[in-house]
Structure 1
């Protein structure tokens, strides 16, 4: 085990190379944490990260026992909704999370806090308006269904481990893959594309800045809350049309928007946003960059 001062808290971040993991690592480093990051394959270990296949219980036991982290942020998951291997959603998202918690019990380690990232995708598309954590899940794909199953499994550990489950709504920032909606829009403007194909421009969704998400995760790890489920969201809706208009102002150029019928979902709910009440109660004073500022940051990066 790497030596460290006993006063320096150690945080284990699974999926540290993912979009969120990189920002959470920076946020925790800024707070004086010693970081142990994990990645799934040796080829991904570029900065001394620990190779960990979370679907292997014995590997989870070994890593937890060796590093004995004060905090665990579990971000590793199969998160691409169109992932070809259906079984992988459940193997990684449910069984992998189970293994991580079981490993803590098996080696007799009690972290100060464990944060487990779920997703607002569990709410589905059946509800319109402001969604609270009490809203019943209604998943519409294997990704969301695996996250619902994971949440129910994690709840069985609430009386044994100090756990917070987060349900992030849409968030974005520099470094997010271009197949996600906002990076796709920003990249079209950055390269001066003449047109872009999108779906229903009137659909409005909740968008946040990834840096806010990382700050919220750090605050929840350091805070007293346990046995909680928390929406991570802005509480403000933005339509595709509004995002396009904002980018036209930032880039100083217009773009032709073509509605591709393949991107339009039947009976799509027009407005979906998260309630921020519980997040604001647990993390008072959380700073949220204005979304236009986030878009400008991405465009100029």
Structure 2
């Protein structure tokens, strides 16, 4: 019988790619805000209907800015929502495996001697989002040891790719570059501090890692999911322009120029590779070109729709 996988918070950017990663060997049910993790009775009734064999928990307040604007909602969703999901699974006699998606934000401010970041580095949360994620990890570990189903946690670093909201920096720059390529905007990008480095991974590689962790990660384990490479935001902007053969002026915008305390980030995926065999496969050029082409298609589609 085909295994049933439930993706909670699975209708967004990552969830859509994760559904593709599982392919035809699984039956996928992906739900978004229509199933509220903050409503325990509704969540339990939904679990009873689906009866999943495995679960990926993606539901969360997802940005640091949102978490500072409404810490109470962040804790209610990211921590209590996790407890509600675990309780709903137990109430419905779940016996499978769950992947809890946390974040590299739990590490807080990194020093150069911390790089590459391993899972053994102590956590120092600097946002309500990170606090809630650490608490959820601890909760999931406890349940993995004391309840009748297995739980693994993932700590993804920055992930990018086609379909990401322009609320995120690389997607936003990709959208602007697409507009310039189509002649819809002047060849000028207003930028802030773009010389920080981050560890960027293609979302499709992230999705592949989640699938492997659900299948073969160690119960109670916590795993970094990252590329192991640090790249500056500036280098990605320049490369996107090169890939679509345009030249742009990068113009410093004082409104955007908030220097980040975090200058460099690079993670280690050693433990993930050892336990699952995962390696990142998608070249950065493909990622960047796919981002720009996604926005080109989006502009063309919307132009056609307006005719």
Q: TM-score, normalised by structure 1?
A: 0.89
Name the counterpart of 2:128. Answer: 142
1:174 aligns with 2:162: yes
Identify which of 25, 32, 37 aligns with 2:30. 37
What is the root-mean-square deviation of aligned Cα atoms in Å?
Answer: 1.6
- Is the Cα–Cα contact under 8 Å of residues 196 and 257 in structure 1 kept in the other structure? yes
Return the alpha-carbon distance in structure 2 between the equivalents of residues 279 and 126 of structure 1: 21
The answer as to 2:36 corresponding to 1:53 is: yes
Q: Would you say 1:10 and 2:10 are equivalent positions?
A: no
Q: Secondary structure at the match of 1:165?
A: strand
Q: Which residue of structure 2 aligns with residue 200 of structure 1?
A: 193
Q: CA deviation at 1:224?
A: 4.9
How far apart are the structure 2 equivalents of 1:224 and 1:114?
10
TM alignment of 1:83-98, pairs within 5 A: 83=66, 84-98=69-83
- Normalized per residue, the structure richer in strand is 1
TM-superposed CA distance for 1:109, in Å, is 1.9
More helix by share: 2
Deviation at 1:266, TM superposition (A): 4.7
* Aligned partners of 2:140 and 2:220 also within 8 Å: no
> d(CA) in 2 for partners of 1:23 and 1:267?
30
> The residue matched to 1:66 in structure 2 has which SS?
helix
Matched-pair contact (CA < 8 Å) for 2:212–2:278: no
1:43-86 residue CA offsets vs partner (Å, 9 max, x unmatched): xxxxxxxxx11111212221222222111001111102222322
Match of 2:302 in 1: none
The equivalent residue for 1:125 is 109
Q: What secondary structure does 1:248 align onto? A: helix
Q: How far apart in 2 are the matches of 1:267 and 1:96?
A: 31
For residues 115-135 of structure 1, give each alpha carbon's deviation from its aligned partner in whole angstroms, at most 9, with x where no partner exists: 010011111223332111111
Structure 2 vs 1, CA of residues 294 and 110 (structure 1 numbering), >3 Å: closer, same or farther? same
SS at match of 1:130: coil
8 A Cα contact 2:38 2:80, kept in partner: yes
Query: Does 1:162 pair with 2:150?
Result: yes
- In structure 2, the residue matched to 1:217 is 210
2:59 is aligned to: 76
Structure 2 equivalent of residue 294 of structure 1: 287
Structure 2: distance between partners of 1:68 and 1:155:
22
The aligned residue for residue 47 of structure 1 is none
1:285 deviates by 4.7
Equivalent residue of 1:60, what SS? helix
TM-score norm. by structure 2 comes to: 0.87
My pick for the range that moved more, 130-139 or 88-97, is 130-139
Task: Return the alpha-carbon distance in structure 2 between the equivalents of residues 93 and 22 of structure 1.
Answer: 20
Deviation of the 1:31 alpha carbon: 4.3
Q: Secondary structure at the match of 2:199?
A: strand
Distance across 2 between alignment mates of 1:37 and 1:200? 37
Q: Give the whole-Å Cα distance in 1 for the aligned partners of 2:257 and 2:106.
A: 20
Gaps of 5+ in 1: 1-6, 42-51
* Equivalences, count: 283
Cα distance, 1:264 vs structure 2 = 4.1
Q: In the TM superposition, what is the alpha-carbon distance from 1:198 to its structure 2 partner?
A: 2.4
1:189 maps to 2:177 = yes
Q: Which runs of 5+ in 2 are unaligned?
A: 181-185, 295-307
